[in-house]
Amino acid sequence: MPVDEQVTAQARSTDADVRQRAAQSVATTFEERDFPLVFELLGDRDWRVRKTIVEGLIRDARQEVVQGLIRALSDSDNAGKRNSATEALIRIGDRSIDAIVDHLDEEKDVDVRLSLVHLLGDLRNSIGFATLLDLVGSESDVNVASAVVTSIGHYRDAAALGRLLPLLRQDDLWLRFHVIEAVGEIGDRSALPAILPLYEEKSLRKPILEAVGKIADVGTIGFLMKIIQEEPKLNLTALRSLIRIADADKPKIVKANEAELIQRKFRESFPPSKIDPLIEHLRSTPKREVRQFILRFLGWSRDPRAVPLLLRYLEEPDTAEEAAQGLIDFGAAGCEAILEKLRAAEEDDVIALLLRIINAIGGAESTTTILHFLDHDNPAIRRMAIEALGQLLDPRSIDYLLARLDDDDVAAQQAAVNSVTALVGAFPECKNDVLTRIRRLLGSASVPARLNSLSLFVNIQGEGFPDELLLASKNSDPTIRQRAVFLMGRFSEERFADQLVLSLADESAAVRLAAINAILKLRPSNGIEPLISSLEDGEVWIRAAAAQALGEYRDPRAVEPLLQHLDHDPPPVRIAAIEALSRCGDASVRERLYRCLDDPDLEIRRAAVLALSRAAGDDALVRTLGAMTDGDWRIRAAAAASLGMRGDIRALEPLQQIVLEDPDVYVQQAAVQAIEKMPDRSSFPVLLKALENPAILDEVSDIFIKHKAIYRQLLEEAWRTADSRGEVVIAAILHAMKRRDLP
């Protein structure tokens, strides 16, 4: 319906609220005859009115609307209208591209051309990209030409470098400035030889340094350090670029290679004379981000003047994490000052950070200070102190740690067990003395002390520990029985078998579950019938665990009881039964498993697909391959994992296809892991291509390193012809292979 006269009158009211109501009415439904009023409201002085009209135009983005919005860009007297039109065109997206490109070909007004070029940069459409490339070098107005370059940079496509880099040879400084900025946005290291020599031009220094930081190539560290060394003033832009290189989002294998190099180069090259200016800037700058990166540099420098500053900024929430990392990077030389700070610290957050630092860099000299925090009111701090003592490996702390076995906090108790275990492992001469103390604790009135001393007794394998476990498994306290039964599962002791079977009937569900898990590991010959009985347990998780354990036995007696639970039990039991039946190797159950592939419960289908990895015959392989085209990513991922477990070389080609074509990252990762289980030279082209996918790059790198005997020569050949990005990644993988070769 066309807009009536009353709405038109409201749209021209002096009251903004009335105009807003008119805009809401107009935006709901309008015809072409109403366009003049619609675009009049698009330029209203009240932002609410403009916003309402924009929403209406986006909902009805016919070509006439797009044309009207483009015409609105030429209203030189109404910035609000131009901004609203720009917002609407961006939100309309690809549907507006053709009209923008056509108008750009015809438009003569420089300001409108600027708006259209910026729109193409914001929309990032392939047609827009091609249009912008065509304009490079042909646009006569320098401002529009600079906008073209800037918009191209938004696409971050290295294909544009062939058009952009020749512009650096032109005389126009303004244009060259924007080319360097765009090159930084694109982030391709192949552009570095073209921009680094231009640093002699003072007006271009800042954009060059910023571009170097965005490109984040470790090879430019020497360039940056030379600038930092030789320029009389502290060059914060160069320092910021160095941080950007260190923090750049890079593949794990590349980042690991570069991190230590960057810190070492800084430590070797940063002039000591510039530490004081760095500290002064830290104190004077109001910018949080600048303070943060200066703190990191102070840690890298390992200059003694840095430690007091790092400790001071540890107390400020905005810089605490960076200061802590700086102290860790500084290393053991700052330990005494850190301990002094720890002794005086009062705030829990600061204490926690200092403990974390000591845990990373401290030695035995830290023990005395750390011991004071074993009685701290905050359980998290007690736990961190206990963990630190386990890392410091000072045998003097053993008695103090044993006293924390009955700490009020369960996590602190476990940390004490782990730390004492680590200390006895490091100092075996202490074992007998520790065992004497543990035996006393086994009779403690404190249940936690008894539980954790039992764990310790078993961890360090004190004399007679099997007898102690058997005794504890009959204790009146169910928590002690549960712990004893759990610990039995770690050892292949025949005399544990009868007690584990008896524990399947324990009144405590926790004990019964622990017994099943222990039997799962030990598989005593008398365990089958009791486990079959456990399939009728009242607890779902007990039945599921029993089914899983029966699968490990692979005994024909378990088949029929498992089948009885395959159809009507809750999903956890059915899933465990599917897995167990697939392990039994009974051909008669295969059809029942195949039926589960069509179950309405997705998790049942997924379990059935995984179970096919253990089903013999080509039929099972065909069904698994069929699951790789399922509409649900979880089923496709399960199919890929199943094929990997199956290990049939015929599955390689479909898996390779998934790596390159499946839209889901998790499925791609599952396929890569499957290929890893069947290393073969035929997978190399696909894996090499997969290095271009950041989501699976780390997994693919691990395959190459693990199977270096198969892939090293192929990688070396690929490195010789790789592009700039691939060259860095492949070089890092080859370096990791060399490190694996070292004794």
| Residue 312 tokens, joined | 């001071």
User: Which of 437, 463, 431 minimizes the C-alpha distance to 452?
Assistant: 437
What is Dmax (Cα atoms) for the chain? 99
Instruction: Spell out the residues 6+ positions from residue 22 whose beta carbon is closer than 8 angstroms to its own.
Output: 7, 8, 10, 11, 13, 41
| Residue 534 tokens, joined | 């456990």
Superfamily of domain 597-675: Leucine-rich Repeat Variant (1.25.10.10)
The confidence score (pLDDT) of residue 400 equals 95
User: Which of 440, 369, 346 minimizes the C-alpha distance to 402?
Assistant: 440
d(CA 195, CA 215): 12
Say which residue the tokens 């209208």 belong to: 81
The confidence score (pLDDT) of residue 742 equals 64
Q: Is-contact 206 184, C-beta < 8 A?
A: no
**Residue 1 pLDDT more than 60?**
no
The confidence score (pLDDT) of residue 485 equals 93
Mean pLDDT, rounded, for 199-212? 95
Chain segment 712-742, per-residue pLDDT in tens = 999 999 999 988 778 888 998 998 898 877 6
**Residue 271 pLDDT more than 60?**
yes
**Residue 523 pLDDT more than 90?**
no
| Residue 326 tokens, joined | 């700086």
**Residue 310 pLDDT more than 80?**
yes
Q: How far is CA 263 from the centre of its chain?
A: 23
440: how many CB neighbours lie within 10 A of its CB? 12
Phi, psi of 138, deg, nearest 5:
-105, -15
The confidence score (pLDDT) of residue 592 equals 87
User: Which of 311, 168, 325 minimizes the C-alpha distance to 246?
Assistant: 325
Instruction: Spell out the residues 6+ positions from residue 726 whose beta carbon is closer than 8 angstroms to its own.
Output: 691, 692, 718
The confidence score (pLDDT) of residue 427 equals 94
Burial of 79 (0-12, 13-18, 19+ CB in 10 A): exposed
Q: Is-contact 642 630, C-beta < 8 A?
A: no
Which band of pLDDT confidence, cut at 50, 70 and 90, is reported for residue 3? low
The confidence score (pLDDT) of residue 743 equals 60
Which amino acid, 359?
N
Mean pLDDT, rounded, for 188-193? 92
Chain segment 619-676, per-residue pLDDT in tens = 889 999 999 999 999 999 999 999 999 999 999 999 999 999 999 999 999 999 999 9
d(CA 54, CA 59): 9
376: how many CB neighbours lie within 10 A of its CB? 16
| Residue 308 tokens, joined | 């007091």
The confidence score (pLDDT) of residue 373 equals 95
| Residue 449 tokens, joined | 């002390």
d(CA 537, CA 273): 75
CA distances 268 to 239, 272, 303, 324, 517, Å, are: 15, 10, 11, 22, 55
Say which residue the tokens 């090159």 belong to: 183
Q: Is-contact 439 468, C-beta < 8 A?
A: no
User: Which of 130, 72, 127 minimizes the C-alpha distance to 98?
Assistant: 127
**Residue 29 pLDDT more than 80?**
no
Which amino acid, 22?
A
Instruction: Spell out the residues 6+ positions from residue 681 whose beta carbon is closer than 8 angstroms to its own.
Output: 710, 711, 714
| Residue 710 tokens, joined | 């198969």
| Residue 735 tokens, joined | 């370096």
Instruction: Spell out the residues 6+ positions from residue 414 whose beta carbon is closer than 8 angstroms to its own.
Output: 452
The confidence score (pLDDT) of residue 2 equals 59
Q: Is-contact 338 357, C-beta < 8 A?
A: yes
| Residue 93 tokens, joined | 């997206």
Report the predicted TM-score, pTM, of the whole model to 2 decimal places: 0.76
Instruction: Spell out the residues 6+ positions from residue 409 whose beta carbon is closer than 8 angstroms to its own.
Output: 379, 382, 383
| Residue 623 tokens, joined | 């069904």
Mean pLDDT, rounded, for 478-497? 90
312: how many CB neighbours lie within 10 A of its CB? 14
- Per the document, the length of the chain is 743
The confidence score (pLDDT) of residue 587 equals 72
HEC assignment per residue over 630-674 = CCCHHHHHHHHHHHHHHCCHHHHHHHHHHHHHCCCHHHHHHHHHH
The confidence score (pLDDT) of residue 228 equals 94
Residue 293 host element (H or E): helix 288-301
What is the helix, strand, coil percentage profile of the chain, to 5?
A: 80, 0, 20
Instruction: Spell out the residues 6+ positions from residue 636 whose beta carbon is closer than 8 angstroms to its own.
Output: 627, 628, 629, 630, 658, 662, 664, 667, 670
The confidence score (pLDDT) of residue 527 equals 86
Chain segment 129-169, per-residue pLDDT in tens = 999 999 998 888 999 999 999 999 999 999 999 999 999 99
Which band of pLDDT confidence, cut at 50, 70 and 90, is reported for residue 433? very high
3-state SS, residue 276: helix
Using a pLDDT cut of 90, give the percent of the chain over it: 74
Residue 192 host element (H or E): helix 192-195
All structural domains of the chain with their residue ranges: 216-261, 597-675, 679-743
Whole-number mean pLDDT of the chain? Answer: 91
CA distances 724 to 180, 241, 296, Å, are: 18, 20, 29
Q: Is the dihedral of CA 261, 265, 268, 273 positive or negative?
A: negative
